[in-house]
């Protein structure tokens, strides 16, 4: 099964074989893979070598470890195209997943100058500052921290953020969402966010800031999102 003459290191060959077994469904999502001892016997290599293969698969998000319990097969990541301006609710529903939210903060405040500038606010203008954990099939996917100008939507309440905000804006408020700009950065999760996302630091996250505009190029939201890097991969179509 392994080619000891190959220039490809043994741990990479094992990694590849385990990957294929996961993709074929030999080890279904949520089940544990064989122990290091079993794998080292099966491949006739040291436990160190097997551990290296498993660590690489954990780092790639195909497996996850639970202390004292073992190593398990992770759910495949959600593939999120970055080309269209869609809402979280639309994104999850289009995959047959059930979206939900937990509102963890709702305040009206005067924002810092960077947000005020992005929303083209005047001095003294207030925003709703809303913090939500977004779930797909009851699993936490992201934290969204949203700033919306009160003057554009004077009558929003906590209720407006229980379901889809974009549906509220387009259906209840009768406004047309037209475009957005986004910035994306990688990072390591902070302690408080790790608890909210149910992950253990150190863990990778993707941070996205979106500034979205209504027709007429009026900025209506600044959203700072923290996505679980083990749950998401982002795709774009590019042309030349
Ligand atoms: C997405 C958007 C966020 C928007 C939300 C509305 C990114 C980075 N963020 O998560 O800006 O506020 O959708 O979703 O894509 P909702 O309509 O389900 O509340």
- Atom of ligand 1 minimally distant from the CA of 180: 11
- Mutation probe of ligand 1 site: the residue of 166, 180, 219, 222 with most atoms within 8 A of C-beta: 166
- Closest by CA to 153, choosing from 173, 171, 167, 126, is 173
Query: Dihedral angle at the C-alpha atoms of 195, 199, 201, 203, nearest 10 degrees?
Result: -140
Instruction: Provide the 10 A C-beta neighbour count for residue 34.
Output: 15
Ligand 1 test: best mutation among 163, 165, 184, most atoms within 8 Å of CB? 165
196 C-alpha to ligand 1 centroid (Å) = 18
ipTM given for this complex: 0.97
Per-residue pLDDT of the chain (240 residues; tens, 9 = 90+): 799 999 999 999 999 999 999 999 999 999 999 999 999 999 999 999 999 999 999 988 899 998 889 999 999 899 999 999 999 999 999 999 999 999 999 999 999 999 999 999 999 999 999 999 999 999 999 999 999 999 999 999 999 999 999 999 999 999 999 999 999 999 999 999 999 999 999 999 999 999 999 999 999 999 999 999 999 999 999 999
Mutation choice for ligand 1 from 93, 130, 223, 235, CB with most ligand atoms inside 8 A:
223
d(CA 14, CA 19): 8
Helix axes 36-43, 47-59, angle to 10 degrees: 120
54-62 contact pairs (CB < 8 A, 24+): 54/18, 56/11, 56/12, 56/15, 57/15, 57/18, 57/19, 57/22, 61/229, 61/230, 62/19, 62/22
Tokens at 193, concatenated = 């966010």
Of ligand 1's listed atoms, the one at least distance from the Cα of 209 is 8
Could you tell me how far CA 158 lies from the centroid of its own chain?
23
Torsion of Cα atoms, 185 then 188 then 191 then 197, to 10°: 70
Q: How many CB atoms lie within 10 A of CB 17?
A: 16
Question: What is the Cα–Cα distance from 11 to 139, expressed in whole angstroms?
Answer: 32
Q: Which atom of ligand 1 is nearest to the CA of 89?
A: 18
Q: pLDDT of 110-167, one tens digit each?
A: 999 999 999 999 999 999 999 999 999 999 999 999 999 999 999 999 999 999 999 9
């Amino acid at each position: 099964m392994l080619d000891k003459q190959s220039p490809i290191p043994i741990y990479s060959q094992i990694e590849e074989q385990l990957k294929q077994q996961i993709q074929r469904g030999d080890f279904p999502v949520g089940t544990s893979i064989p122990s290091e001892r079993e794998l080292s016997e099966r491949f006739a290599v040291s436990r160190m070598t097997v551990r290296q293969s498993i660590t690489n698969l954990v780092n790639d998000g195909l497996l996850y470890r639970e202390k004292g319990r073992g190593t398990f097969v992770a759910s495949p990541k959600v593939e999120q195209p970055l080309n269209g301006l869609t809402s979280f609710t639309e994104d999850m529903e289009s995959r047959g997943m059930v979206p939900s939210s937990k509102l963890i903060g709702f305040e009206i405040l005067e924002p810092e100058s960077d947000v005020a500038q992005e929303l083209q606010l005047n001095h003294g203008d207030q925003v709703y500052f809303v913090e939500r954990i977004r779930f797909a099939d009851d699993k936490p996917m992201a934290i969204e921290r949203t700033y919306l100008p009160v003057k554009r939507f004077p009558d929003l309440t906590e209720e407006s953020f229980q379901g889809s905000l974009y549906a509220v804006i387009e259906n209840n408020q009768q406004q047309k969402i037209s475009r957005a700009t986004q910035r994306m950065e990688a990072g390591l999760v902070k302690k408080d966010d790790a608890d909210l996302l149910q992950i253990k630091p150190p863990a990778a996250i993707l941070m996205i800031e979106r500034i979205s505009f209504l027709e007429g190029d009026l900025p209506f939201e600044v959203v700072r999102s923290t996505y679980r890097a083990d749950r998401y991969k982002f795709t774009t179509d590019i042309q030349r």
